Each structure stands twice: as C-alpha cells, then as structure tokens.
Amino acid sequence: MTMDALLAPVKAFLQCETPDEWIAVACLPENLPILLIDHANCETKAAMTAHSLVRRYCLPKGKRHLLPKLDFYRELEALPEKAEVLGKRTMAEGDRSVFAELERNPLLFPMVRLIQEELHHFEQVLEIMNERGIAYEAVSASRYARGMMGAVRTHEPATIVDKLIIGAYIEARSCERFAKLAPHLDEALGRFYVSLLRSEARHYQDYLALAEQFAGADISERIRFFGELEAALICSPDEQFRFHSGCPVKTDSC
C-alpha cells in the first residue's frame, strides 16, 4: 500500500491537520531532544494503555494481579513474546486457567500485538537517541491525552468505548504527524518515521473496530465528539511543545 493510500483514511478520520506552525517548531534542531524524548514516552504510554486495558477488561477483578506489570520486560534480553506479556511463563500451574478467560476476550490479541509493537518502537527511539547522544530525561506529559480522558463517561460499556475511541485518535494523530514531519527531518529520522506509519495506521483501525464491537451500537456521535475535542487540542494555542501539543504560541520557521 502506498503512503498516500495508508494516510487517506487517517486524514479522513482526523478533523484537522497538524498546523504548519507545529511542524516549524518541531523541526528546529534545538527541539530534537524534546521531540524524541516525548516520542519515546508516547510509545511506552501506548504500551501501558493497552496493557491496562487487558488487565481491566480481559480478567475478573480477583485475577488481575496475575498479569505482570509491564516494566518486567526491561529484564528480558529481547522484546517479550505473547506468553511473556501475559505472564504465562512466570505463572503458577494452578493460575493458568486464567488464560481461557483471556483468550475469549476480543481485546486480547490486538492489545498484546500493540504492546509488543509499541515496546519495539520505544526501543527504536531510545537507540536513535543513543546514537545522537540525547539522554533520556524526565519530561512532563502534554495536555493532549489528559484533555480527552477527562471526557470519558463513567459507566460501562461507555467507559471502554470512549477509551478505545481516544486510543484511535492518539494513534491516528501520531501517524499523521510522523508523515508530516518526515520530509522536514534528517534522512535517517525521516526514514524511521515513515517506517512507523504502517503499524500506527493499523493501531488506529484496531481501536476503532474494538470500540464498535464493545458498543454494539452506532458510535458515530461519540467519534464526532472526540474528533472535535482532539482537533481543538491540536489546533488551539499551546505554550508547551510536545509530540502531541497544540499550535505553538510563538513560532520560528525551519
């Protein structure tokens, strides 16, 4: 599939394009460390969000502790396989029946694949930072995800449907930003960002399909609602620069 064909549904889903002013600030050399550090953070957050959805919605309350915390993977030599993500290898024999419950849930397969891919992206960003001598420092989160999560309804299945729609928007926006940023970055980084497009485009579609499945009813109103909210966070002035920040208040050109 060509890049244009991949991006067409992403752009149709999003209610606004990333403002040129954001691109201009994002490609300033002095902003490269913050762009990469925050991008790395976004990748781990994407994995953690998928992991928390598995914990909350694939397992009954009394068994959620059986799912290992996601940071266990740092001790592994390679990225975790499905069984490792789910803690199967470390689980006591008697607890393994939990897998029958996990396997029945439609969230499981796409979320585990997403966890694996996001952890891989995180490792790739860290490697790029390493090559460029950029240290991984603590950076505060942008207003973006918080701004949408504040609107999540508090009763099920509305809560899970809203969280899945938000997941779709975050993935779609990341995809759109990678594509828009790529031509303005140096060749290696541009190539890396283009390489991320395919998986992020699929992640947004996975989230959306799951939202429809969990709702069991038409969710176009809710998609429109979060689409407007997301576009407002992207297009309104934002004093902080981050991977998902809004329109920079002060801009310089590339």
Look-up: residue for tokens 């973006």?
144
Nearer to Fe ion, 66 or 201 (CB): 201
- Lookup: tokens for 227: 């689409």
The H helix count followed by the E strand count for the chain is 10, 2
Q: How far is the CB of 163 from Fe ion (least distance, A)?
A: 15
Q: How far is the CB of 230 from Fe ion (least distance, A)?
A: 15
Give whole-number Cα distances, 156 to 104, 163, 193, 216, in Å.
19, 11, 36, 12
Contact 235, 247 (CB under 8 A): yes
Give the whole-angstrom CA distance, residue 156 versus residue 99.
Answer: 23
Contact 169, 227 (CB under 8 A): yes
Q: How far is the CB of 153 from Fe ion (least distance, A)?
A: 24
DSSP states of 189-245:
HHHHHHHHHHHHHHHHHHHHHHHHHHH-S--HHHHHHHHHHHHHHHHSEESS--TT-
Nearer to Fe ion, 66 or 111 (CB): 111
| Cβ neighbours around 254 below 10 Å, total | 11
Of 31-39, 77-85, 168-176, 178-186, which segment contacts Fe ion by CB under 5 A? Answer: 168-176
Of 53-61, 63-71, 120-128, 154-162, which segment contacts Fe ion by CB under 5 A? Answer: 120-128
**Does the protein bind Fe ion through residue 121 (CB under 5 A)?**
yes
Q: Which residue of 203, 222, 242, 244 would you call a contact of Fe ion, by CB under 5 A?
A: 203
**Does the protein bind Fe ion through residue 162 (CB under 5 A)?**
no
Name the DSSP letter for residue 77.
Answer: S
Of 54-62, 71-79, 101-109, 119-127, which segment contacts Fe ion by CB under 5 A? Answer: 119-127
Q: How far is the CB of 203 from Fe ion (least distance, A)?
A: 4
Q: How far is the CB of 46 from Fe ion (least distance, A)?
A: 5
Give the whole-angstrom CA distance, residue 157 versus residue 217.
Answer: 11
Q: Which residue of 176, 200, 206, 230 would you call a contact of Fe ion, by CB under 5 A?
A: 200
Nearer to Fe ion, 15 or 49 (CB): 49
Nearer to Fe ion, 21 or 117 (CB): 117
Tell me how many residues contact Fe ion (CB under 5 A): 7
Nearer to Fe ion, 15 or 116 (CB): 116
Which 44-83 positions form the footprint of Fe ion (CB under 5 A)? 46
The residues facing 238 across adjacent strands are 248
- Phi first, then psi: what are they for 247, rounded to 5°? -75, 120
Instruction: Kindly list the residues in this chain that would bind Fe ion in the complex (CB under 5 A).
Output: 43, 46, 118, 121, 171, 200, 203
